[in-house]
Structure 1
Amino acid sequence: MTQTGTPLADIPLPDADRLLEAATAAADAAACVIRPFFRSGVTVDDKSDQSPVTVADRTAERTIRAILAERLPDHAVLGEEFGLERVGSRHCWVIDPIDGTRAFVTGRPTFGTLIALLEDGVPVLGIIDQPITGERWIGVRGRPTHYESRLPGTIGTRRCTELKLAELSCTSPEMIADAPTPHWDALRRAARRVTWGGDCYAYGLLALGQVDVIAECTMKIWDWAALVPIIEGAGGRVTDWHGRTLHAQSDGTVLAVGDPAMLADAVSLLNTGLPAR
């Protein structure tokens, strides 16, 4: 909170239009790179952590980096594929060129390009871009989240105060096998139903009121940084599994809720197996 009592998320981002112009130009260019590789039989390599990567991931990240370097040469850039450049800036762009590479290489349009801006380590701008469906979510601190699409959908999380009515989503059961607590299944049982798959696209659906809760782990900063301003600008909350604000040293757990009234119960279930009340 500031001295005037204004939540940080409501404080306008200085120079937001110029920053957003650079981010959207980078997203546009990355989409042009990615689309020709979709369902093209692209070669898939395994990285040291056994996660897949393709020429589309690497080329898209290089393209985003080039645009940001040209427009904002004093800003740092951290990307999944090529690491950190220009250490020391209070502004750092965080890139995941294809979040959901498994979906991408199997022809599923549920992946996305993630571009985020951190200011002093805090996510203040985020984009989810789906280059096949033409959907784009844009979150900027101090502004409502914006959704661009040819598909139907209205920005705004769904009012859902009870977990028994909630649609729960998670990318994969394998992810939960590495969870830091054994209680994810308690959250699953408390929810109305669970849907697997989606990567960053599921978070976009949460911002549209189609999904109510997402609980995942093993998440790197490039997996979640862009999601925070998008979901919070749509009325939701994003924390770790303990309900704490995400930061660069977070433990890899991410909990997103469309209705903040569900947060306490979700946190309690994930940590104790029991609801908060």
Structure 2
Amino acid sequence: MIGNCGREPGRCLSLNFGYSGRNSSLSENDMLPDRSFFDRLADAAKAETMPRFRVGTSVLNKLEGGFDPVTEADRSAEASIRALIESSFPDHGILGEEHGNIGLDRELVWVIDPIDGTRAFISGLPVWGTLIGLYRNGKAIMGLMDQPFTGERYFADGEKALYRGPDGERVLATRPCHALSDAVLFTTSPHLYQGALKERFETLQAKVRLFRYGCDCYAFALLAAGHVDLVIECGLKPYDVGGLIPLIEQAGGIITNWQGGPAEMGGEIIAAGSREVHARALEVLKGD
């Protein structure tokens, strides 16, 4: 235990995600969705979120002690996404933030956060996004981040990461950065870090050129697009990161936990556009 994260803990997740090592029953491309299906999912979520954005939507608190907000937009958007998945891919598992889990030991599991950044959503700040990831035997292989207010959609198809928005469509690529002293770092809030986590984050923050706060999942998208060099977070759940891992990796970046292990289960997360900066930052975060 190296410290605590100040995020609200939410419900406990007990996950398998197919890590049993059993033989795959599917060929490489069997039963995998295409880009158009991800677009359908994002459009279904958009139909639920956008009419409720910046209109004074009601907010519920999921915790008795603390504040973990949820809106009708969260729940309706996830329900719409799940309905399409269950209709088109009934053999797939689903992990969702708002409506529970089914089939987490299946080979293919969808990981859904209908509104990542609910606090931003209820504040009218357009840095929230709909996150949809697809895991295969525990590994994130496809993912999407959609920001419908700005009209930006980031998608990883298994080989490359793509952007579609007001200025057209392009393949995404992280930018080269070779030193922490040249890096731009984003995190949701420095107040989330406590104890040893706080000390290590502040040590790292002091080494970078520029740091910014408050962008939630949008910061990871900016990294994939080559605008940011480091994103550091703590206390994430799988649905907070599952849709983002393929974006980062397929744009040429790297994303792990603070020990250098897989990011799929969440926790303390570091994403970097270059392996050099990732290695230097990881040394600080691990306390080496």
TM-score by length of 2: 0.85
RMSD over aligned Cα atoms: 1.9
Asked if 1:267 is matched to 2:282, the reply is yes
Asked if 1:144 is matched to 2:132, the reply is no
Asked if 1:246 is matched to 2:263, the reply is yes
Task: Tell me which residue corresponds to 1:117.
Answer: 134
Which blocks of at least 5 consecutive residues in structure 1 are unaligned? 1-11
Task: Tell me which residue corresponds to 1:22.
Answer: 37
CA deviations over 1:122-159 (Å, ceiling 9, x no partner): 10110000011110111122x11011101478521111
* 2:280 partner letter: D
Task: Tell me which residue corresponds to 1:9.
Answer: none
More strand by share: 2
Distance 1:271 1:243 in 2: 9
> Which is further off, 127-136 or 42-51?
42-51
- Report if the CA contact (8 A) 1:13-1:140 is conserved: no
Task: Tell me which residue corresponds to 1:215.
Answer: 232
Which blocks of at least 5 consecutive residues in structure 2 are unaligned? 1-26
CA deviations over 1:26-78 (Å, ceiling 9, x no partner): 11110111110010000111112621110000000000000101110111111
Q: After TM superposition, where is structure 1 displaced by more than 6 Å over at least 4 residues in a row?
A: none
Give 1:83 deviation, angstroms: 1.2
Q: How does 1:1-277 map onto structure 2 within 5 Å? A: 14-15=29-30, 18-48=33-63, 50-141=67-158, 143-151=159-167, 155-177=172-194, 180=197, 182-248=199-265, 252-272=267-287
The percentage of aligned residue pairs carrying the same residue is: 39
Give 1:102 deviation, angstroms: 0.6
* 2:278 partner letter: L
Distance 2:196 2:255 in 1: 17
Distance 2:279 2:222 in 1: 22
Distance 1:13 1:263 in 2: 30
Distance 1:203 1:21 in 2: 23
Three-state SS of the structure 1 residue aligned to 2:199 is: coil
> Which is further off, 73-82 or 84-93?
84-93
- Report if the CA contact (8 A) 1:135-1:151 is conserved: no
Distance 2:187 2:31 in 1: 32
Three-state SS of the structure 1 residue aligned to 2:106 is: coil
